[in-house]
Amino acid sequence: MNEPTTHHSAPLVVHHPTPITPAAHAAPVVPVQPGTIPAVTSVVLPDGRVVTGYAVAPAQPELVTAKPVVSRAAVNVAVGGVGFLATCGGLLLLTSFITALTALVTQLVILAAVVTGGWIAVRVLTPSGGASGTTVNIRRAVFKRNHFRG
């Protein structure tokens, strides 16, 4: 079953390329706008073969732009920090203003309570009616019913 089989191999044929001989006649020249299609060049190799193709311009190195001393990210972070500090200062002033306004309102409420309490005390403690007079002796003078008798 696993017996070796014999194959008759065909003889190996090697093909060698034939060199291209230059043409005896020149190719017709077609007028072309300059700069649109690169020129075709032919190179003759040492063994007589001719290679035809387009000329390739050597690659130009890209110009290196000077990098700024400070990166844009660092500048953005710094500007954000300055804005944050300005905002914090404004918030500090805002909280101080709110504290002062709260103290002012508290003092006004207390003042209103004192004035209202005083007014109520005067109303309660004064006699009502006004018909009866109060006699007060001051230096032998008698004030009775708002008349002076001396």
The predicted-structure confidence for 75-133, as pLDDT tens digits, reads as follows: 888 888 888 888 887 788 888 899 999 999 999 999 999 999 999 988 888 876 555 55
Q: What is the pLDDT of residue 23?
A: 62
Q: What is the pLDDT of residue 134?
A: 63
pLDDT cut 90: percent of the chain above it: 14
Statement: residue 44 has pLDDT above 80? yes
DSSP H helices in the chain? 72-125
Statement: residue 50 has pLDDT above 80? yes
Greater pLDDT, 47 or 32: 47
CB contact at 8 A, 48 and 19: yes
Q: Is 143 exposed, middle or buried (0-12, 13-18, 19+ CB in 10 A)?
A: middle
Smallest CA-to-CA distance from 133 within 147, 145, 125, 150 is with 145
The rounded distance, in Å, linking the Cα atoms of 48 and 20 is: 8
Q: What is the pLDDT of residue 139?
A: 63
Instruction: State the CB neighbour count (10 A cutoff) for residue 49.
Output: 14
The rounded distance, in Å, linking the Cα atoms of 50 and 12 is: 29
Mean pLDDT, residues 56-81 taken together: 79
Q: Which residues contact 22 (CB under 8 A, 6 or more apart)?
A: 44, 50
The predicted-structure confidence for 2-14, as pLDDT tens digits, reads as follows: 665 665 666 767 7
pTM: 0.30
